Amino acid sequence: MKHFDPRTVTNAALAYLGDAVIEICVRERLLEEGYTTSKALNAHARDYVSAPAQAAAMERLHPHLTEEEAAVFRRGRNMGHTNTPKHATVAEYRSATGMEALFGYLHLTEQQARIDELFALAYPREV
């Protein structure tokens, strides 16, 4: 299905795709937790997809990344940013972008089991 080398995809494109991959993981998690209204789904999704939340998630993930995954994260984190959201620091935004690039890369390399594993580590369920 993939007719190109995912390692050559631009950082921005990896982050763009990874944003969607993470969004699907979040939406599935919220449905599993029983949220069914648009209002509740959107309100709780922000707890996962804001730059500060993703930066915190990456802090939990760092010890679990392979060398290859860490390199993809750094590549995404270090890409040039011309703007940042109002409610995030530059460091948080860069880390969130790195996380999105990582998840985009994992999707392109068809590593769904690893996506699921890292998402669970990044966002552990409340006990």
Q: Would you list the DSSP string of 21-34?
A: HHHHHHHHHHHHTT
Domains and CATH numbers, the chain: 9-122 (1.10.1520.10)
Q: What is the pTM of this model?
A: 0.91
| pLDDT band of 127, cuts 50, 70, 90 | very low
31-35, 64-68, 88-92: the lowest-pLDDT one: 88-92
Per-residue pLDDT tens digits for 41-79: 999 998 899 999 999 999 999 999 999 999 999 999 987
4-8, 51-55, 93-97: the lowest-pLDDT one: 4-8
Catalytic residues: 19
Which residues are CB-neighbours of 79 under 8 A, at least 6 positions away?
11, 12, 15, 97, 101
pLDDT at 82 over 80: no
Nearest to 111 by CA among 49, 48, 69, 64: 69
Residue bearing the bigger pLDDT, 65 or 2: 65
Classify the C-alpha dihedral 60-65-70-76 as positive or negative.
Answer: negative
Give the per-residue pLDDT at 7: 80
Strand runs labelled E in 8-105: none
Residue bearing the bigger pLDDT, 81 or 74: 74
The amino acid occupying position 39 is: K
Residue 70 near residue 78 (C-beta atoms within 8 A): no
Give the per-residue pLDDT at 32: 94
